[in-house]
A = this chain, B = another copy of it.
Amino acid sequence: MMTGALAVEATAAAGQTYTVPPRPLPVPPTASPELRALIAGPLNPGWSQQPASAEAWRTLVRTFAADVELVLPALIAREKVKVRADRIGGVPVFWIEPDVLPPENRDRILLNFHGGAYVFAPGRSGLRDAILLAGRGFRVVSVDYRMAPDAPYPAAIDDAETVWKALVARHPAKRIGVFGSSTGGAMTLALVVRAKAHHLPLPGALWAGTPWAQLDKVGDSYFSNDHVDNALVSYDGLLGAAARLYANGHDMADPELSPVNADLSGFPPTLLTTGTRDLFLSNTIRVHRKLKQAGVLADLNVYEGLSHGDFERDPDLPESREVYGEAAAFFRHALAR
């Protein structure tokens, strides 16, 4: 609506970094009551930790994993799925299968990469996303890929490629959807970058939930949603420390670490999910734009009031149910039968 000429005001001046003044951020009445309760709560207290040694990282990993494993039995029971450990091409995986598999999904597989900043959520503690999609009628295989500090880049993406090769050797790729949130969203994209480079078949469809598409602190919402996102809170804490641990000296802008920098042409149809408060809002919308620029069918969804990964953190939010329902509907429509 503003059409007047611009003139200098306040703290902004050409070439300088502008400082956003402190601002009230009320709980939005436009979010569900359940999400409002989450927003009214405190910032995630763990965000600023920077473990000083590999052993300190491992202790933190165990603490987080124990928290998740406490809630897993109830989630598995409620979603009516079975979990079974297996190996594919030597890489440990879990199969999560619904008690009732709809006929249309009988020959389809969803391949999942869990989140956790390439450090967290080993073993069964990485299965929440996979359980929630399996509960919506899909056979899901989730990869327990190697992680930092013991196995930094490129171990995780090497494991992803190993599983993909083995899987497509026995199953039509167009009937396989790949998905993940956060780090899992980045690995979903990076796997396709690898598959293109190595002339492997490509999946039928992707869901990248709030993907960590740029590993280094580049992108508008790393700054605009700093201390607005109450889950990640800021890049300059545990997140940035995990990025450095995983990259292990490699260039973080490399397309395998930051797949938003890759050539995304030829990608399969892709669903993208983020929220207005998400530190990864820019990561998500930048991938969407690059996909559209490359002529790829891409469907962006931004949820009111959601911070990073809220939908996995609290799957009982009405917003979370909508997110997983949307992902299931997307795969039902986009995947070959």
Contacts and interface: CB of A to CB of B under 8 A. Distances in A.
Tell which of A28, A281, A286 has the most Cβ of chain B within 10 Å.
Answer: A28
Interface stretch (A6-14, A91-99, A158-166): A6-14
Number of chain copies forming the complex: 2
A67 interface: yes
Given A31-B220, A41-B12, A42-B7, A22 B25 contact: no
A336 interface: no
* Most chain B beta-carbon neighbours within 10 Å: one of A8, A9, A10, A293: A9
A182 B1 contact: yes
A320 interface: no
A44 B13 CA distance: 12
Contact of A301 (B231, B288, B322): B288
Contacts of A26: 17-18, 223
Interface stretch (A75-83, A114-122, A134-142): A114-122
Interface stretch (A169-177, A191-199, A303-311): A303-311
How many A residues touch the partner, as a band? 35 or more
A23 B125 contact: no
Interface in A9-65: 9-10, 12-31, 37, 40-47, 63-65
Given A17-B25, A24-B19, A232-B2, A300 B303 contact: no
Given A23-B19, A220-B28, A3 B226 contact: no
B304 A23 contact: no
A46 B2 contact: yes
B224 A120 contact: no
A9 B219 contact: no
11 contacts: A1-B183, A2-B64, A3-B313, A6-B42, A9-B44, A10-B42, A21-B22, A21-B227, A28-B219, A31-B220, A285-B304
Given A19-B24, A220-B277, 6 more contacts: A1-B232, A4-B67, A14-B40, A20-B228, A224-B276, A293-B322
Interface of A: 1-10, 12-31, 37, 40-47, 63-65, 67-68, 115-117, 120-121, 125, 182-183, 218-221, 223-228, 230-232, 238-239, 242, 276-277, 281-282, 285-286, 288-289, 292-293, 299-305, 308-309, 313, 322, 326
